[in-house]
Amino acid sequence: MAADPTLLAYLVPRVTHSTENTAIEALGYILSQSAACRGALLDVLRSGGSDIGPIAQVATEVSGEEGGRPDLAGFDEHGKERLLIEVKFWAGLQPGQPNAYLKRLIQSNATGPSALLFVAPGARLETLWAEVRRRARDKFDLSESPDRQSAVVGGSECRLMLTSWAALLGRMAARAAEAGESAVESDIRQLRGLANRMDEDAFLPLQSEEFAPEFPRRMRGLRRLIRDATAGAKAAGCVSRSGNYRAYLGGFGRRILLCGASVWFGVDFNRWAKRGDTPLWIYFSKGMVGATISHSQFCRALGLSSDEDSVPIHLPVGVEYDAVVADVVDRLVEVGRKIETSQAARRPRPGAA
């Protein structure tokens, strides 16, 4: 299952297209409420070579003199703006990023340290850092750290940095736990769930090896596997009927009648992406199972909770194709036998009233 499933992760993508704005407000709220989390933010900055001192206040979208509005701004105890934070999931950089924000920090902190911190998904760090760094070099000299995504801007005390959601929220959660702030820990868990959800739905940066022929060949092989495993389960007496082979946006497969239960059998990209361990699934729903077995019985027979609707078919690795087919057939038969046992338990005994 996906890591940290939370109400925020479920709700936000369904009610708004401004997921980043929600994350900005959530992060700003947590940092404003918790000194421990502001301390965690300083830990992250120090790990990148920046020591701006304690952050007393955090505010969202504070406009500068030239009109720029970074997502978050951090102020020291004297009300001096020392930190700007730009929150990213998968949206691109705006025209003024990062240079307008770097200029703003350098002009307002001529005699003190400051930092511009980008927060982004871990899978995006490499490509985003390359773009942020390229843009910054158009206006400033950068002295880069060789072992981290951090650079000193020109001859100033301003530092340009990048960190991941996981690193920042992980450190915030640890600091909140140390401080005994259980309510803050719960808030961080909600935001972490949203960040994880955005990672799952992301269009990851393309890699050249992904265009090699192995991937389409694998998809064709999985289609063949579904066909041959269905035939094998029919021969074993567990599948009595199979529907036409169909493709849809979330995968491809076919409807089968497995020991009296109507189920879908095939590749499911969404479950594969969330689970990460198998492309092949048996899926069922209340409307699919059929009259011979109820949905709740189906779940009990397979050892599932009432809110689950699928069974993974794990594939053996490093073996020949025939062995893979045989293993999948065995799994179909195993699931089918459990369904049969549940159906038999439901039937009234002879002579029973």
Do 218 and 327 fall into the same domain? yes
Do 74 and 132 fall into the same domain? yes
138 in a structural domain: yes
Nearest to 262 by CA among 281, 285, 279: 285
Q: Which residues contact 304 (CB under 8 A, 6 or more apart)?
A: 298, 311
- Residue whose pair of structure tokens reads 């902190």 in the numeric block: 109
Do 185 and 65 fall into the same domain? yes
Kind and range of the H or E run holding 39: helix 35-47
Do 190 and 238 fall into the same domain? no
- Residue 56: give the domain boundaries: 7-200
Do 297 and 190 fall into the same domain? no
pTM above 0.85, yes or no: no
Do 181 and 239 fall into the same domain? no
User: Cα torsion for 84, 192, 273, 334, to the nearest 10°?
Assistant: 170
Q: What is the mean pLDDT of the chain?
A: 86
Total structural domains in the chain?
2
27 in a structural domain: yes
Q: Are 126 and 94 within 8 A, CB to CB?
A: no
Which tens digit of pLDDT belongs to each residue from 13-25?
Answer: 777 777 888 899 9
Between CA 34 and CA 117 the distance in angstroms is 19
Do 137 and 282 fall into the same domain? no
Q: Are 50 and 90 within 8 A, CB to CB?
A: no
pLDDT band at 224 (very low <50, low <70, confident <90, very high): very high
163 in a structural domain: yes
Q: Range with the lowest mean pLDDT among 70-74, 241-245, 292-296, 329-333? A: 292-296
pLDDT of residue 221: 94
Do 265 and 195 fall into the same domain? no
Which tens digit of pLDDT belongs to each residue from 117-153?
Answer: 999 998 888 889 999 999 999 999 999 988 889 999 9
The rounded percent of the chain whose pLDDT value lies above 70 is 87
